[in-house]
Structure 1
Amino acid sequence: MKRYNKVFFLAQFFFYFSIGLSPFVNKLQAQIAIGKPTFPFTQICANPSFNAFDVNFSFTPTSGITASNQFIVEMSDGNGSFASPTVLHTSVAGSITTSPAKITFAVPVTTSGEGYRLRIRSTSPAATSQLSNPFPAYYKPQDSQFSINNSISNVVFCSGGSYVLSIDNPGTGTNDSPLKYPGLTFNWFRDNGPTVLPTKVASATGATYSVTSPGVYYAETNYGTCTSDSYSNRVTVVSASSGATAIITSSLGNPFCISQGPTTLSVTNGNTYQWYKDNVAIANATNQTYSVTTPGQYSVKVGFGTCDASASINLQEVTFNASLNVANTNAIVPGESLAVAVTTDATNPIYKWYLNDVQIPNVTSNTYSATVKGTYKVTITEPGSCTVSKDLTFNVTYTTDPNPFPDVPEIPNVISPNGDFINDTWVLPLTYVSGTNTEVLIISAFGEVVLQTNDYQNDWPSITSPIDFKNVNPIYYYIITTPDKKVKKGSITVIK
């Protein structure tokens, strides 16, 4: 009986021992070890057209991961700290089951530093690798040459003073300013000639640098140990006790296109400024730049502290030449015409002709025959990237000017506008014409209003309000309303 109890006790012991050990054994089987990440690169130099890099790692045992496991690639900050890591890639659950493994990732556009590290994490089970070796990494959003100092290559500053060099933004032409890309820093250098390496200017990482000693200077976008093609032109800075120079540049060039809006005049950087137009000081124009919309002679006085400099620019607009073959005022005999022609060097010009500020319809060539008196204007427009227009005017009078307001007894119901100056226009009695505030309304047979005025000049039909001869002898209808609301109605037959 005692032997039986002992055997029973041992059986129970091993049974409960195995139950208690089971979670511990399972826990051991659910752990994996991830090796130190390695990579084929020595540095990362990414840009908008290339941003794909590989990291290799191993883990053991492969049987330790679950079907829901994901591997995560994390990157430190530029100093190697994982206090706030950046996730570069997260694998699809269960997609990586064999070791060694490789993951391709991209770096953020804000990447910039010399001491980045990588690490790999798993999610099921949770594990973290050792840290990778440090490496430089930069994302280069801009990697082309740019301009400083408005591309002015030679400047003078006053002895004992300074001269500020600035990265242009946006600069002229196709200049791709790095200032358009937030977060970039810059290195400024003094060029020591072809046989000596340039000297990096200490503590100069911003978009400007104040030069205090003569030399040749340039800027470069800071991409650390990555090769940078983002560098500026060279500027030679000379110190002088007097005779400092200043130069004005126009943002839209000179000549500039008025239709593109104002152009910004910029002058050499100094301490104080005063702008002038035609040698007259412009009120409150005391900044380094001045915006203008009209051509003219502009100048500026720049103070450098111990000496001054002046600069000027004869700002011109993009234009073309155009002229007429007639005088400003021309007299013709009623019934005759004046042949007018425009001569211009404009490219593909467009013409619009006007009589008394009303456009003459269907006239688009460079010639026109003026048959009635009045003030004429032709607008010549040169289309293109810079649209330019020019107006030319001339006047036509009659050698014998007929009375425009004869004393006729009745309202005529027939006119014949054939240019013989007899019944050419609809002439009304004096009680209805200009100066009486009588409303004259003429309507076509189709119900279209062809004339409505309270200042009738006895001039219908006219060049600007012609007759439509689609029908033979068209008929129009009139309504005349006097200031005291008396109304006259009738028809007008037009005989060609």
Structure 2
Amino acid sequence: MKKTSSTFSILAIAIVLIALSPMGINAQVLNQPEAAPNPNLGTTSAWTAACASDSFNEYFVNFTWSPPLVASNNEFILELSDSNGNFGSPLELDRVTDKNTVFDFDFQFAVPTTTRGENYRMRVRSTNPAKTSPPSVAYPMHYVDFDSPLLISEDGNGTIPPGGTIQQCSGSSVTLAAHNIPNPETYQYNWYRSGTPLSEKSHEITVSTPGMYYVELDYGSVCSGSANTQSNTIEITTGSASGIAINGASTVSLCAGDPYTLVSNISGLGLTYTWYKDGSVVAGPTLEGHTFNINTSVSGFEGNYEVEIEGPSTCLERSSAVTIQNLGSLQVTRQNDADIVLLPGQNTTLSVTTTASTPTYQWYKDGTPITGETNSTLNINDTGVYFVRVTETGGPCAGAPVDSESTTVASPDSFEFVVEFVGSYGPCQNTEATLNLSTINAVSALGAKTNVTSDLESSFAYQWSYEGNTLGGETSRTLTVSDQSNNGQYVLNGVLNTYNVASNTLEVRLASDEILNIASNSTILCVGADPITINTFRALSGETFEWQRNGTVVDTSNEVLVATEVGTYQLVIRTNACPIVSNEIEIQLFDESLLVLDSPENIIIIEGETETVTASGASSYEWFDANNNLLGTLDSFSFDQEGEYLLVADFGNCSVSRVITVSFRDTFAIPNVITANGDGINDLWVLPNTFSRDPQVLVTIFDERGREVFSQFNYENNWPESTTSFSQQNMIFYYKVTKEGKSLKQGTITVIK
């Protein structure tokens, strides 16, 4: 609300009413909330920990507060801290609007599903006036969203070992992990070894010590047991290493058909053997299967062979590898593409290389030998499927033929152009787009496609078209569009001999480079202030446009928008193919806490000194005295006199008023001895400013018999008067200082003549 000349007058009346009240006006007191019994359970005991779940999540908290009454539109809000008791980002548990005349009531709330911790606290906040209660004591609070027994296995692989036992060798370790709980890393766990708690809290644990291991979810000191999540037990045992190996040389060279048997160095101990080739099982597991015969008659018998053993009191152990080589193996490598498109009248050359020492060659077409073609290369001008057979005629394993990979040579039935955008293009995101021919495919009669881009991209004649019309001069494989008025569909056409090709269609939608700005007369929404209007200097007549708040359309007809709600506002013009989007304006709800003072609102200064108060957060400031006189318009003001002052801070259409009270600090105490000898030094009983010259403060003095000898409001430090006589050298008097019937000070005065 904007300030008026009567603003401070109303404030002054309120100050006077406070001053005249016998007890003043006390502020509301919000007491800390406390756990309360659940009336729906018929119990009289308050909860001490919240163990919530899908089946039960109803808790009550008692709250009390003291008058005066809060405003009629006040709301009481129950808030929850984080798990460490901090209220940096509190969660709202409950909110009530009908308890503004009830000084003792219960909140009902449900524990949030993300709650897991031992030190949650609650507090209550009122909205009008804005006050916050002290935090409650700490409570364990957990939402038990998983209450089934856990299942653990090695590495969490889901396979529980037979008998629940895993054997390991000395010095090795095993990782156990829960495998039946979603998102296991989001929980804390209690791990146990043979009933003894372990320090590990994650969903997996790496162990090397024998024992019985199990786990449960850590739902805190109270809720863990009620969740019933204790897992299966896995026993970790230890065995001894046997030194398994394969007899003989570590590398063995064989020809096809040569017999060879691999033999383990350990046998006859009742062990189970598994044989591996290149990491894959080829035999076993077999009891006492300590030998393995290699079948060298099959292709690919060469490789790395290992053996693995296991058995009672024996570690699962695998040997080092023995490498079996094929002396007769040779490699034939094709030197051309697997698929070749041959246009009429063209020819091409096929070729291979080989590791054979003395090779012979025979080329085949469609499975039939080609007469006279016995070299490593072959010139062709016809379609078909080609390969070459290479035979080794020397070395220790002569006579092993190997066929090369086949090459398919075809003439195309048609061609396909694929055009794409170059770089990172997005519709209505770029102001320029480049289109390019990326692929030329030769298409067979059966629809098979072969990429022939590198072979034929220079052979075609090209022409770009836009919206079905030829673009003059655009005859390259690349086209750049940089004008929004040229948005539309583009196609690349190509001609080669009798082939005519049209590419896929690319639709270009370039964003406008126009900058659309919107502005508002304020960004702070407050009750009673002028409405917030948002407009743009761009003409909107004839345009299709929409005003949006938080991404939702709120108006499509008015060129000026009246913002009545908080949120992020934006203008979008959709007349063209791509929308024009304005800047964003965020409208916030006014918050009086935006005004910040660097000192308390009650200031005590020493008479003769100055105290400066600086304000921040507002757009302008005005400082007034008690007579509504404007003292200054800066963000700070220096006070050197007692009194009530008013600060009015403007935030656009909104304003905040703060009352600042300045008092002098008393620099001396009430004296208890005076010397009434007329020398002008300490002749009078002088009170501090707090009690003297105050029309509401009564000073009364009694003699030693309790008879009143002096009584005065607005005491002017004038006792004893010059007419006062003292009958004794040293006399004792009693004083009492009261205000509105309330005793402020009392004591004795010794008068020395």
**TM-score, length-scaled by structure 2:** 0.28
Relative contact order, higher structure (CA 8 A, sep 6+):
1
Which of the two has greater strand per residue?
A: 2
- Higher Rg: 2
**TM-score, length-scaled by structure 1:** 0.42
